């Protein structure tokens, strides 16, 4: 039975959230907490019970996410400062040649954004696409769009980047399965929205790189490719092995140790130690410099951690008010409903307020409440994470900082940014969601 008071409370809470962020420019963490309180009070919760729900939601979420996001931030910062991104890009360009440079940029973007934040990775690599445009005389679109598609897909779909880590924790999804499905869905979606779209855009519009005096060459790193790839792969492989062991191995010593080393905490600690030594100490960094890099990396991570905690609060309020059960009853007996609900809510939040992270976390809270009593399999839960990430990827426009980052660095007009970057993000999000929906029926 539909409780209209609960429906009104949720809709009003979302309205308050958007009003605080868009009109008053209140930080999303504070806005999420205020809107969660508003939902609880309008739904009839006792004030002290509401405060307990906030504490429970925040505490249950941060225990896992804070550790993983913090370790991931340090790991990415060391690889960023070591020149690993440039080493990967230059290697793939050398091996594939300039004729296949769009594909080299796709692979580079897809791999680099696993440990490094999207905007940082783009700024590091943008001089390389400038150089490719000047040498080839072809449109900048041909090299920029594949790079951006690879960066955006990995940033949204594949842990240990913060977005999918946060959503997986809120939904209770297995991180190893999220990684596996992130690759399965992400690769074809990137091909569609990267090299294929880039070829079409480049044929329609010529975009030149900025004047040479604004350009800096990508650092020529002495790093060997094998250690860079190995260190990026270590946490992913360990986490996936942990997932496989849960399914295929009987209880025993081997399974226990695989679960220990494959736990995201252990896997990322090992990856950090390897990066600290091979990318840092062996690459000429002092211990003091590495400590400074690690400390500075935690500043942006702190914002994401708190946002995720507030998303956990929103989920807890929806569950404690009974909204989750009501939604679950309304969407019962239809597998596609939770996926469509998750995608649409994430997409609406993305379009209205711009931030992909806020979109993912808010819609994850609502989706978690919806599936609280469902019997989705572990694979379907992982795919639900991808569905939310897909929705939060679509239609980046003027209220998204990424829109203006691309606009500025590629030297585009607003109209050109819409026709390239906005189209690319929308194509990436929709194609990945379609693939997710298809997979959900077979797992």
Q: What is the mean pLDDT of residues 112-137?
A: 84
Q: What is the mean pLDDT of residues 70-77?
A: 88
Q: How confident is residue 269, by pLDDT bands cut at 50, 70 and 90?
A: very high
Residue 390: is its pLDDT beyond 60? yes
Distance of alpha carbon 258 from alpha carbon 166, whole angstroms: 23
pLDDT tens digits along 11-40: 898 889 888 988 888 888 899 899 999 999
Task: Identify the domain containing residue 207 by its residue range.
Answer: 4-440
Residue 68's contacts (CB-CB under 8 Å, 6 or more residues apart) are 159, 160, 165, 264, 265, 268
Res 333: pLDDT? 56
Question: What does the H/E/C string look like for 388-401?
Answer: HHHHCCCCCCCCCH
Is the Cα torsion angle 185, 190, 191, 192 positive or negative in sign? positive
Q: How confident is residue 314, by pLDDT bands cut at 50, 70 and 90?
A: confident
Token couple for 85: 């991104």
Domain count, the chain: 1
Q: What is the mean pLDDT of residues 255-263?
A: 89
Q: How confident is residue 213, by pLDDT bands cut at 50, 70 and 90?
A: low
Task: Please give the span between the terminal C-alpha atoms of the chain, in angstroms, as a whole number.
Answer: 31
Token couple for 340: 């469509």
Distance of alpha carbon 401 from alpha carbon 404, whole angstroms: 5
- DSSP-derived 3-state class of residue 82: helix
Q: What angle do CA 147, 150, 152 make, to 5 degrees?
A: 105
pLDDT tens digits along 166-198: 899 989 999 999 999 999 999 999 999 999 999
Residue 333's contacts (CB-CB under 8 Å, 6 or more residues apart) are none
Residue 319: is its pLDDT beyond 70? yes
- DSSP-derived 3-state class of residue 108: helix
pLDDT tens digits along 347-381: 988 888 777 888 898 888 888 888 876 778 899 99
Res 193: pLDDT? 95
Distance of alpha carbon 150 from alpha carbon 136, whole angstroms: 21
Q: What is the mean pLDDT of residues 145-166?
A: 90
Contact (CB, 8 A) for 152 and 197? no
Distance of alpha carbon 154 from alpha carbon 118, whole angstroms: 9
Distance of alpha carbon 420 from alpha carbon 438, whole angstroms: 27
């Amino acid at each position: 039975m539909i409780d209209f008071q609960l429906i009104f409370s949720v809709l009003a809470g979302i309205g308050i959230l958007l009003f605080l962020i868009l009109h008053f420019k209140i930080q999303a963490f504070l806005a999420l907490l205020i809107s969660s309180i508003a939902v609880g009070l309008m739904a009839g919760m006792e004030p002290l019970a509401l405060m307990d729900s906030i504490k429970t939601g925040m505490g249950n979420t941060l225990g896992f996410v804070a550790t993983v996001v913090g370790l991931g931030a340090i790991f990415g910062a060391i690889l960023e400062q070591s020149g690993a991104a440039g080493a990967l890009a230059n290697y793939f360009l050398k091996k594939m040649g300039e004729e296949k440079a769009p594909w080299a940029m796709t692979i580079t973007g897809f791999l680099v954004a696993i440990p490094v934040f999207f905007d940082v990775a783009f700024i590091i690599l943008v001089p390389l696409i400038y150089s490719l445009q000047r040498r080839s005389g072809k449109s900048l679109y041909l090299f920029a769009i594949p790079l951006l598609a690879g960066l955006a897909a990995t940033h949204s779909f594949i842990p240990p980047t913060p977005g999918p880590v946060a959503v997986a924790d809120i939904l209770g999804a297995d991180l190893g399965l999220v990684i596996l499905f992130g690759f399965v869905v992400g690769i074809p979606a990137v091909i569609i929205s990267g090299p294929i779209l880039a070829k079409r855009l480049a044929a329609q519009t010529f975009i030149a790189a900025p004047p040479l005096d604004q350009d800096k060459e990508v650092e020529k790193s002495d790093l060997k490719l094998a250690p860079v790839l190995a260190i990026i792969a270590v946490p992913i492989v360990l986490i996936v092995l942990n997932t496989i062991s849960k399914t295929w191995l009987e209880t025993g010593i081997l399974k226990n140790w695989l679960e220990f080393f494959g736990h995201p905490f252990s896997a990322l600690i090992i990856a950090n130690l390897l990066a600290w030594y091979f990318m840092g100490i062996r690459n000429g960094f002092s211990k003091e410099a590495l400590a400074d890099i690690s400390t500075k990396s935690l500043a942006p991570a702190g914002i994401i951690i708190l946002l995720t905690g507030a998303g956990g609060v929103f989920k807890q309020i929806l569950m404690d008010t009974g909204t989750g059960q009501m939604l679950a009853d309304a969407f019962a007996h239809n597998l596609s409903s939770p996926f469509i609900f998750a995608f649409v809510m994430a997409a609406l939040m993305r379009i209205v307020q711009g931030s992909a992270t806020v979109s993912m976390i808010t819609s994850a809270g609502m989706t978690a409440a919806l599936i609280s009593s469902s019997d989705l399999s572990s694979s379907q839960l992982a795919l639900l994470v991808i569905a939310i990430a897909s929705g939060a990827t679509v239609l980046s426009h003027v209220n998204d900082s990424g829109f203006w980052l691309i606009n500025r660095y590629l030297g585009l007009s607003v109209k050109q940014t819409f026709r390239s970057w906005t189209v690319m993000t929308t194509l990436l999000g929709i194609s990945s969601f379609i693939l997710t929906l298809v997979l959900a029926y077979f797992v």
